[in-house]
């Protein structure tokens, strides 16, 4: 389970910032458009009233006077504050009573300008530490809000005189028609949509990363299998694979492909492979390359690893042992060309089947040949072993492009005649449990994986 911290979130943003910001801006723009099209704007008109003292004949006034005669000046001030606080609550409740709302409705009906179903919302609040009360009227029409605010001020003053005995209440701030709506607040909705977009994308990528069980780094492979990664091939989104010629290395001088990051990855891979070769080796090495599943880039990596060695002056042979996909043959040959299977059935000899100097390089290729034959039986036969022994005398490196082991038995058959086996793992695709299963299956067949190729690694 990955630990979610600042660097975890930062890594997500660093790699996916374009998509995250695009979705966030899209959500913000959508929120703004929907606010304009779907939400009814509300306009506010406010009136401020100064609420005077109650008259002496009112019970509240008598209570206040009685309290003042029973204590000193400090007690009198305290009692006035307490009474003022109580009155503030009374005023805010009074504004919502039927006595006032029905009076307001009657006044609106007398004007005859507004329908009875015209809706509005009223709010009252006291300005802190004062006797000033502000009444806010919200509706979908700024003129209607203005009229209701005027009527509310008039009705409220009359009712407070009748009910509370307040004679000197007066308007300190007349209501005005506000043409700018108080709802929706467009910029706030756009900002909210933007932030929601950010949160959704971060949640999505965080969940995807936490739940991801695929292998993405060399450290994960080495900790899972205890097998070294001898080649790391980065993902190059600018590279367009040519189906007719997938090789990064050409015979042309100063080729752009020769100087690409992908080409440099294979040159580093080449050095690691050469260094792992036994110092006392007197003949070439046969290396079987397989992967856990199809479309991991096995044939592409095998061909370019061979081409990088050929560039350095080594004599290289590629052998297509994948009778199902026939990747090397689809890249460099034609349908129906004879190859390995035809050699093993004595239909043709090696010299007439092999294609020399592929694309002018120091690399040869031997296609799969007849697809109808049982490849697993032929590659485990003494003839195949003998062929490998003879080939090693003429080549420095022989690469067997073998089909994915979970699909066929070819890797077990061909691998038994190879000096080593390389397992290709696709970063972000191959699951660690599948890699373990592959290693265990090969081990039961007495085939040890000597190294791992990690393909498709994302650039930091």
Per-residue pLDDT of the chain (460 residues; tens, 9 = 90+): 556 788 888 888 888 899 999 999 999 999 999 999 999 999 999 999 988 765 555 544 444 444 444 445 444 444 444 444 556 677 778 888 888 888 898 888 888 877 777 889 999 888 888 888 899 999 999 999 999 999 999 998 888 888 767 777 889 899 998 999 999 999 999 999 999 999 999 999 988 888 888 888 888 888 888 899 999 998 876 665 655 567 887 655 545 556 678 889 999 999 999 998 887 778 999 999 999 888 888 999 999 999 999 999 999 999 998 877 878 888 887 777 899 999 999 999 999 999 999 888 899 999 988 777 777 788 888 999 999 999 999 999 999 998 876 556 778 888 888 999 999 999 988 888 888 888 888 888 888 889 999 998 887 6
Q: How far apart are CA 26 and CA 198, in angstroms?
A: 10
CATH for 43-173 is: 3.30.70
DSSP code of 347?
A: S
Closest Cα partner for 332 from 368, 298, 362, 289?
368
Q: Do domains 43-173 and 215-274+281-457 have the same CATH topology?
A: no
403 near 288, Cβ under 8 Å?
Answer: no
Q: According to the model, what pLDDT value does residue 316 have? A: 96
Q: How far apart are CA 228 and CA 288, in angstroms?
A: 16
- Token pair in block for residue 284: 């070439």
- Token pair in block for residue 378: 């032929």
SS3 helix, strand, coil % of the chain, rounded to 5? 50, 15, 35
Q: According to the model, what pLDDT value does residue 73 have? A: 44
Q: According to the model, what pLDDT value does residue 63 have? A: 45
The verdict on whether omega for the bond into residue 184 sits within 30 degrees of 0, i.e. cis, is yes
Q: How far apart are CA 172 and CA 223, in angstroms?
A: 77
Cα angle 166, 170, 171; round to 5? 145
State how beta strands 363-366 and 229-234 pair. Answer: unpaired
Q: Where are the alpha helices (DSSP H) in 276-315?
A: 298-311
State how beta strands 132-139 and 43-50 pair. Answer: antiparallel
Q: How far apart are CA 330 and CA 335, in angstroms?
A: 8
Residue at token pair 């790391």: 232
Residue at token pair 């070819």: 410
Q: How far apart are CA 313 and CA 443, in angstroms?
A: 34
pTM above 0.75, yes or no: no
- Token pair in block for residue 266: 């294979």
Q: How many helices (H) and strands (E) does the chain have?
A: 16, 11
User: Domain 215-274+281-457 in CATH: superfamily?
Assistant: P-loop containing nucleotide triphosphate hydrolases (3.40.50.300)
> What is the biggest distance separating any 2 CA atoms in the chain, rounded to whole angstroms?
128
Closest Cα partner for 425 from 442, 407, 439?
439
In 114-249 the beta strands, taken as DSSP E runs, fall at 121-126, 132-139, 170-173, 229-234
| Domain parsing of the chain, residue ranges | 1-39+184-212, 43-173, 215-274+281-457
């Amino acid at each position: 389970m990955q630990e979610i911290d600042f660097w975890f979130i930062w890594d997500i943003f660093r790699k996916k910032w374009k998509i995250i910001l695009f979705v966030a801006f899209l959500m913000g723009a959508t929120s703004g458009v929907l606010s304009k099209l779907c939400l009814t704007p509300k306009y506010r008109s406010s009136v401020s009233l100064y609420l005077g003292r109650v008259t002496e004949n009112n019970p509240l006034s008598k209570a206040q006077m009685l309290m003042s005669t029973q204590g000193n000046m400090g007690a009198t001030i305290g009692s006035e504050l307490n009474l003022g606080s109580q009155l503030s609550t009374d005023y805010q409740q009074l504004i919502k009573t039927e006595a006032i709302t029905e009076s307001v409705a009657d006044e609106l009906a007398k004007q005859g300008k507004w329908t009875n179903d015209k809706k509005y919302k009223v709010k009252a609040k006291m300005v802190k530490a004062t006797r000033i009360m502000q009444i806010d009227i919200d509706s979908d029409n700024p003129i209607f809000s203005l009229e209701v605010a005027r009527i509310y001020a008039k009705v409220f003053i009359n009712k407070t005189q009748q009910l509370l005995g307040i004679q000197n209440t007066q308007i300190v701030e007349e209501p005005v028609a506000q043409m700018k709506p108080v709802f929706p607040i467009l910029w706030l909705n756009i900002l909210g949509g933007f932030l929601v977009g950010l949160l959704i994308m971060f949640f999505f990528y965080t969940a995807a990363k936490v739940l991801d069980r695929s292998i993405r780094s060399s450290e994960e492979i080495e900790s899972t299998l205890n097998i070294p990664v001898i080649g790391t091939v980065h993902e190059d989104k600018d590279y367009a694979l040519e189906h007719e010629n997938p090789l990064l290395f050409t015979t042309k001088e100063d080729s752009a492909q020769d100087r690409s990051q992908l080409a440099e990855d294979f040159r580093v891979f080449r050095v690691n492979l050469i260094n792992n070769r036994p110092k006392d080796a007197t003949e070439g090495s046969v290396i079987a390359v397989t992967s856990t599943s199809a479309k991991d880039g096995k044939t592409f990596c095998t061909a370019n690893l061979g081409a990088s060695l050929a560039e350095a002056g080594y004599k290289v042979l590629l052998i297509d042992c994948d009778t199902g996909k026939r990747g090397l043959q689809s890249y460099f040959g034609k349908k129906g060309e004879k190859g390995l299977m035809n050699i093993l059935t004595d239909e043709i000899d090696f010299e007439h089947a092999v294609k020399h100097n592929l694309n002018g390089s120091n690399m040869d290729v031997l296609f799969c040949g007849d697809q109808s034959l049982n490849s697993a039986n032929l590659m485990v036969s003494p003839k195949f072993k003998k062929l490998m022994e003879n080939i090693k005398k003429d080549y420095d490196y022989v690469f067997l492009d073998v089909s994915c082991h979970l699909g066929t038995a070819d890797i077990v058959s061909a691998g038994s005649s190879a000096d080593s086996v390389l397992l290709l793992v696709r970063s972000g695709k191959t699951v660690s449990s599948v890699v373990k299963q592959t290693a265990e299956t090969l081990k039961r067949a007495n085939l040890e994986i000597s190294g791992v190729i990690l393909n498709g690694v994302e650039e930091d």
